Amino acid sequence: MQLILGFLNNALSWWHWLVLGAIPPLIIALYFLKLKRQPLEVPSTYLWRRTIEDLHVNSLWQRLRKNLLLFLQLLLIAIVMLACLRPSWQGRELVGERFIFLVDTSASMGATDLGPTRLEVAKQRVNELIDQMNTSDTAMLMSFSDRSRVEQEFTQNRRRLRRALAAVKLTHRTTSLDESLRYSAGRANPADSREGERDVMSVAEALPATLYIFSDGNVPDVADFSLGNLEPVYTRMGTDECQNIGITAFSAERNPEKPDHLQVFGRLRHFQQKNTRGEQAVDIQVGVDVFLDDHLIESREVQISEEGTGGIEFSMSDIDSGVLKMQLQADSRNDLVVDDVAFASVNRPKLSRVLLLTSGNDALDLALGTKQSQKLATVRHETPGYLNDANYQQQAEGGLYDLIIYDQCAPDKMPQANTLFIGQLPPMDSWTSGQVQSPVSIIDTDRTHPLMQFIEMGNVEIVEATPISPPRGGTVLIDSDLVQENTTHAALFAIAPRGGFEDTVLGFRLVDTVAGEVITNWPIRVSFPLFVNNVLSYLGSARRASQTFMNVQPGQPVVVQTDEPLQKIQVVSPDGSNLEVTRSGLGHFTFTDTETIGVYKIKNTSATDRQQLFTVNLFDSRESSIWPQLELEIGHETIPVQSASTPTRREAWKYLLVVALAVALLEWYIFNRRVYL
C-alpha cells in the first residue's frame, strides 16, 4: 500500500472525480440507444445487412456486442483518469546549469574491483549525468593524471560531450589534481571572453559551476588553492574489498669489484585496507619469476611480511646487456595488473669521451693515464692549435665529447660538453677574474660536492693564482685568501651550470708551459689523482653511467647520448611503433613519449653505436595503493564522498497524455474509415 501511495499523487478533488467517473457509463449508455432511421428500400440490401447490424440496436437493453470504438473510447478515458493521479517513480537529476566533469585516468583507475575497470564505470556515470542535462545546461569535460587534458570545452551539445567522453583512455601515469583544478577555476571565473564557438562564448561570463570529480581519491593534497565559484562533488570510484600486490622497485647494478656481475634487487608490497577489526595480519607467499631476454633465469616464492613488504635479491654473472623482467604470479586476489610486471634494462657500459687540449702537462697526462682513469674514460690528447681545426668545431658543436679539458687555452665558442678550464677563463662574460696574486693560501673547500669528495688540500702549496668569480647560480668549491673587489677572500675553483652542461674553472696553473716552471705541488699529493678521477666520474661519466640502467616513470622524459654526432635517432616503443627524435641544441636527444610501461629500444644509424635500451615502470606506491579514499583535501577544505546527482520525483502524466492522444487519433481514424475488427 505504501508503494502504491508513493507511486500515485492525486491532483483532483472529489467532485472532479465524480464528473470523470460519470463519463464511462454515459459512453456505454449511448451504445444502447435505439437508432432513429427512416427505412428506405434500395437494391442489394443484403450486401449491407451485416454492416447495418453492427450499428443498429434492436432493443434498449440488448446485450452489447463487441465494438472496437467503444473499447478505444473507454481506454482513452481510463488513461486520462490515470494521468490525473500523477503516477511517478524515484529518479535523479543534476542541480545547476554549468558543470565540469573531471575524470581520473591514472594507473590506479585500471583496477578491476569495479566493473571492467574503474575508468569504464566512471565514464558510464558521466554519461548518465550528460543524459540528465537540460537543453540550456552547459558542461566541460577534462581528464587528468599527473597532467590535465581538456577533452571538451564548455558546450551545450551533449553529442560532443559523449564523443569526447568515449575518447578518454586509461594511462599509466601518476595522479595530481592541482593542474586540472586551477584550470577549472580559471574557466569558472574567466577574466575575459575568448573567441570560439557560440556555445562556448555563451558561458564565458563568471558563473558558478558544479565540479564533478570521478576518482579513487589517491591523489596528493592540493595546497594553496581556493575553490571560489566551484562547487565540488567527489564521486568515489572503487570498493572497500579491493586489494593489490605490486612491484614497487626493480633494478640491476654492476658490482664495482666485478663489472661483469650484476646485483638484481626487487621489492614487493601488499596493498590492502587498514585492519580496523583487530584481526591478526598473516604472512603470504607470492610467486615471482625473473626473465632475461624472455628466458626464465630465476623463480622464487617471496614471503610478504605482516607489514606488507617483501623482496628478492640475487646475483648474475657474464651479463653484458639485455632486458630483465620480473613477473608476479599471485594466487590471491589482485585487482591491479599494471604493477605485476617490471622491467630493467642492462646496457653495455660506455667509457666517457674526453678531449685534453694542452701544450704539455706531464702531471695531468700521468693522472689521466692511471688504470682507474682508463676504466672511466678514453682520453684524446691535442695541442691548443687543434681549436682552429674544422674537425674540432664539428665535434664540439655536435656533442661528441662528454668532457673537454682546456689547459691554459680557451675556444672562441663554448662546446656542447662539460668543461674544465685550468688557468684560463671561459669565453663568457659571466665569468670574471682579478689580477694574478702571490702567495696563495687555501681557506676552505666544499667537500659535499662530488668533485671535492675525499680531497685534502691542507698540504697543497700554490705559488700564484688568479681570483675568479663564477656567474649567478655557480658554486665555489675552493676558497682562498686572495683579494678581489674589496673582499678578503676569493674563489680558486668554482663550477656553474650552462644549459644542460656544467663548466668548472681552476684559478691557477699546474705548470707554466712556457717557462717550464712548477706553480704548485698539488700533482705530487695523493689528492690530485683522486681529483682527476672525480672530474672524470662527475663531469665525464655522469651522463654515460646513468644510461647503463635507464629507467623512468610513465610520462617522464629520457635524455639519450650517442657516441657519434647524429642528427636523428629512432625509438621503438613497447607496441612496436617507431618514433623519430631530433637532436636538441644541447647536443643530446630528449624522448618524451614514455606513456606505456615496458622496454624501449634506441636505434641508431651509426655502425659504431650499439643499441641502447631503457625501461618505463610504474614504481609508485600511491598508484599501487588502490583502496579508494573517503575524502579529498583541496586547499583548506575537506571534500567528502557525495552522490553525483540528487534524488527527484519523475512524473509520468506527460507520457500518459501522449498515449491518450495516440488512442484518440486511432479512434478517429477507425470511425472515419469504417475499419472493423
Q: Is the previous residue joined to 439 through a cis bond, with omega within 30 degrees of 0?
A: yes
Last residue of a domain, one of 285, 318, 348: 348
pLDDT at 605: 54
Q: What is the 3-state secondary structure (H, E, C) of 449-503?
A: CHHHCCCCCCCCCECCECCEECCCCCEEEEEECCCECCECCEEEEEEEEECCEEE
More confident residue, 132 or 83: 132
C-alpha count within 13 angstroms, C-beta hemisphere, residue 584 = 12
621 located within any domain:
no
Span 630-677, pLDDT tens digits: 999 988 888 898 776 555 566 777 778 888 888 888 878 877 776 544
Which residues lie below 8 Å from residue 408, measured CB to CB, with a gap of 6+?
Answer: 358, 359, 384, 422, 423, 424, 509, 513
Count of beta carbons in the 10 Å neighbourhood of residue 68: 14
Statement: the pTM of the whole predicted model exceeds 0.85: no
pLDDT at 573: 92
Pair (363, 456) in one structural domain: yes
Considering the domain architecture, whether residues 292 and 337 belong to the same structural domain is answered as: yes
Does 286 reside within a domain? yes
Q: In terms of DSSP bridges, do strands 637-640 and 631-634 run parallel, antiparallel, or are they unpaired?
A: antiparallel
**Overall average pLDDT of the 586-609 stretch:** 79
User: Among 14, 32, 666, 618, which residue's Cα sits nearest to residue 328?
Assistant: 618
Q: Are 220 and 180 in contact (CB under 8 A)?
A: no
| SS3 assignment, position 522 | helix
Please list, in sequence order, all residues whose beta carbon lies within 8 angstroms of the beta carbon of residue 49, skipping any fewer than 6 positions away. Answer: none
Question: What was the pLDDT predicted at 195?
Answer: 40
Task: Specify if 624 maps to a domain.
Answer: no
3-state secondary structure (DSSP) of residue 410 = coil
Task: Please indicate, yes or no, whether residues 218 and 231 belong to a single structural domain of this protein.
Answer: yes
Q: With 60 as the cut, is the pLDDT of residue 609 above it?
A: no
Q: Poorest-confidence range of 51-55, 95-99, 531-535, 570-574?
A: 51-55
622 in a structural domain: no
Cα gap 134→523, rounded to integer Å: 83
Q: How high is the pLDDT of residue 204?
A: 45
Task: Specify the pLDDT at position 619.
Answer: 93
| CA dihedral sign of residues 36, 41, 42, 44 | positive
Closest to 530 in 3D by CA, of 354, 419, 370? 370
Residue 295 has pLDDT above 50, yes or no: yes
Could you tell me the pLDDT band of residue 394, with boundaries at 50, 70 and 90?
Answer: confident
**Worst-scoring range by mean pLDDT, 254-258, 291-295, 622-626, 652-656?**
254-258
Confidence at 37, pLDDT banded by 50, 70, 90: low
Residue with more model confidence, 398 or 197: 398
Cβ burial of 614 (10 Å; 0-12, 13-18, 19+) is buried
Query: Helix 68-84 to helix 14-30 angle, to the nearest 10 degrees?
Result: 180
121-174: per-residue pLDDT in tens? 999 999 999 988 888 899 999 999 999 999 999 999 999 999 999 999 999 999
DSSP string, 88-150: EEEEEE--SSEEEEEEE-SGGGG-SSSSS-HHHHHHHHHHHHHHH--TT-EEEEEEESSSEEE
pLDDT of residue 197: 43
Residue of 132, 155, 140 lying closest to 100 (CA atoms): 140
Paired residues of 381 in beta bridges:
356
Q: Is the pLDDT of residue 217 over 50?
A: yes
What is the C-alpha separation between 410 and 358, in angstroms, rounded?
Answer: 10
Contact of 156 with 134, CB cutoff 8 Å:
no
Whether pLDDT at 54 is above 70: no
Instruction: Give the pLDDT score at 594.
Output: 93
Q: What pLDDT does 466 receive? A: 92
Q: What is the pLDDT of residue 227?
A: 86
Name the band, by pLDDT with cuts 50, 70 and 90, for residue 265: very high
Higher per-residue pLDDT: 51 or 372: 372
Final residue of a structural domain among 302, 317, 348? 348
Question: Quick one: pLDDT band at residue 55, thresholds 50, 70, 90?
Answer: low
Is residue 631 a contact partner of residue 70, using CB atoms and an 8 Å limit?
A: no
What confidence category does residue 280 fall into, taking pLDDT thresholds of 50, 70 and 90?
Answer: very low
| Same structural domain, 110 and 54 | no
CA 588 to CA 398: how far, in whole Å?
9
Confidence of residue 221 (pLDDT cuts 50, 70, 90): confident
Neighbours of 675 (CB within 10 A): 11
CA dist., res. 186 & res. 195, Å (int): 16
Nearby residues of 376 by Cβ (< 8 Å), 6 or more positions away? 351, 352, 533, 536, 537, 540, 541
Q: Is residue 28 part of a domain?
A: yes
Enclosing H/E stretch for 209: strand 209-215
Q: Are strands 377-382 and 352-357 parallel, antiparallel or unpaired?
A: parallel
Task: Give the SS3 label for residue 197.
Answer: coil
CB 343 within 8 A of CB 614: no
Asked if pLDDT for residue 416 goes beyond 80, the answer is: yes
Choose the most confident range, by mean pLDDT, from 17-31, 556-570, 634-648. 556-570
pLDDT given for residue 39 in this prediction: 64
Cα–Cα distance for residue pair 389/405, rounded to 1 Å? 17
Of 46-55, 157-166, 172-181, 204-213, which gets the smallest average pLDDT? 46-55
pLDDT digits (tens, 9 = 90+) for 651-664: 777 778 888 888 88
Q: Longest C-alpha distance within the chain, in Å?
A: 151
Please report, for the domain that includes residue 146, its CATH number: 3.40.50.410
Q: How confident is the model at residue 308 (pLDDT cuts 50, 70, 90)?
A: confident
Question: What pLDDT digit, counting tens, does each position of 329-357 carry?
Answer: 866 568 999 999 999 988 877 788 899 99
The pLDDT assigned to 471 comes to 92
Q: Check residue 186 and give its pLDDT.
A: 84
Mean pLDDT of 38-53: 57
| Mean pLDDT estimate for the chain | 82
Q: Are residues 513 and 603 in the same domain?
A: no
Q: How far is C-alpha 572 from the chain's CA centre?
A: 21
Dump pLDDT digits (tens) for 451-476. Answer: 998 899 989 999 999 999 999 989 99
Span 579-591, average pLDDT: 81
Output 55 or 254, whichever has higher pLDDT.
Answer: 254
Q: Name the pLDDT band for 5 (thresholds 50, 70, 90).
A: very low
pLDDT at 59 over 50: no
Where is pLDDT greater, at 385 or 283? 385
Those residues whose C-beta lies under 8 Å from the C-beta of residue 434, and which sit 6 or more positions away, are: 466, 467, 468, 482, 483, 484, 485, 490
| Mean per-residue pLDDT, 263-283 | 71
Which is nearest to 234 in space by CA: 177, 189, 317?
A: 177
Q: Are residues 440 and 589 in the same domain?
A: no
State the average pLDDT over residues 220-239.
Answer: 88
Is 597 inside any structural domain?
A: yes
Residue predicted with more confidence, 251 or 349: 251
Based on the domain organization, do 416 and 511 belong to the same domain? yes
Q: 219-233, 533-547, 556-570 — which is least confidently predicted?
A: 533-547
Strand partners, 215: 236
Which has more pLDDT, 23 or 130?
130
The residue out of 520, 544, 568 marking a domain boundary is 544
The answer to whether residues 597 and 535 belong to one domain is: no
Q: CA–CA separation, 498 vs 496, rounded Å?
A: 7
What CATH number is given to the structural domain containing 251?
2.60.40.10
Lowest mean pLDDT among 12-21, 120-129, 181-190: 12-21
Q: What is the pLDDT of residues 491-501, one digit of tens each?
A: 999 999 998 78
Domain count across the chain: 5
Q: Please choose, from the candidates 110, 125, 229, the residue with its C-alpha nearest in 3D space to the C-alpha of residue 175.
A: 110
Domain assignment present for 270: yes
Rounded-to-integer distance, Cα 249 and Cα 343, Å: 10
Whether residues 198 and 340 share a domain: the answer is no
* Distance, CA of 641 to CA of 180 (rounded, Å): 19
Q: What are phi and psi of 136, to 5 degrees?
A: -90, -5
**Cβ 380 vs Cβ 354: under 8 Å:** yes
Residue 623 lies in a domain: no
Do both 400 and 519 map to the same domain? yes
Q: Give percent above pLDDT 70 in the chain.
A: 78
- What does DSSP assign to residue 213? E
Q: Is 465 in the same domain as 497?
A: yes
Which residue type sits at 639?
Answer: I
Q: Residue 594 sits in which domain range?
A: 548-616
Same domain (yes/no): 165, 175: yes
Residue with cell 665525464: 540
Q: Is the pLDDT of residue 257 over 80?
A: no
Please give the helix or strand (H or E) that residue 298 lies within, else none.
Answer: strand 295-304
553-557: average pLDDT: 92
